[in-house]
Amino acid sequence: MKRIHCIQHVPFETPARIAVWAHDRGLETLPTRVFAGEPLPASGEIEALVVMGGPMGVHEVERFPWLVEEKRLIEAVIRDDKPVLGVCLGAQLIADVLGARVYRNRFHEIGWFRVEATAAGRAHARFPLRAEFVPFHWHGDTFELPAGAVQLARSAACEQQAFAWGDSVLGLQFHLEMDAEGVAALGAHCGADAGSGPYVQSLEEMLSAPQRFAAAHAFLDDLLDHWKKEERHEDPA
């Protein structure tokens, strides 16, 4: 893996730490900003694909017609057995492509909330998760576990927090990549839609503990190193 294509749905949900991780490992990040009308690449051009989040839903194809082509691309890259990572909306798009239902969650989950790895998630050979961790969340939708996928994590607010499909595809409902600037931007652009509830924090609460970002980034780096491994199809050098 030398290049990572990244689909960005809105200007305020960027790869953030994912781009830092890639740079530190000598990987090139190639963004496609669909909100700006940039064309999606052909699946054959992609070595690895990251699908970022966004406030739109997976079914809003009339408002966001590029979703149709994007889903086709995700499906093709998965079919080619190339690494795919979906974050928040990205995970929901992967679930949708794999035939799972995507729907409104019982709660909005917005802020820093504990996630618990399943037994399968703790023991997963490809994507091992910590038993408990506290990532950042900003979502109102969720999904059913796709057929053939392994549930990796859950939270009190949302049953499906992470899944693996084969050894190439990873879906994360939460955000490990976010930095303080990204959270502030989400608050500015989407704060009016956050609502209230038992799993909704204020923007002040979200930004009150900067050490949480460092912990999330360290966890993400480790997880991405596992996602990147190419030995899954090759003998170790």
Which residue among the candidates 13, 70, 109, 177 is catalytic per the annotation? Answer: 177
Q: Are 12 and 183 in contact (CB under 8 A)?
A: no
- Annotated catalytic residue, options 5, 9, 13, 88: 88
Longest dimension (CA), the chain: 53
Whether 88 is a known active-site residue: answer yes
Euclidean distance between the first and the last CA atom of the chain, given in angstroms as a whole number: 15
Q: Which three-class secondary structure string do you get for 63-123?
A: CCCHHHHHHHHHHHHHHCCCCEEEECHHHHHHHHHCCCCEEEEEEEEEEECCEEECHHHHH
Active-site residue flag, 124: no
Rounded distance, CA 142 to CA 19, Å? 26
Place of tokens 């109102």: 140
Catalytic hit among 9, 108, 139, 175: 175
Question: Torsions phi, psi of 14, nearest 5?
Answer: -100, 170
Task: Give catalytic status of residue 5 as yes or no.
Answer: no
Contact 139, 105 (CB under 8 A): yes
DSSP string of 133-150?
Answer: E--EEEEEEEEPPPTT-E
Catalytic residues: 88, 175, 177
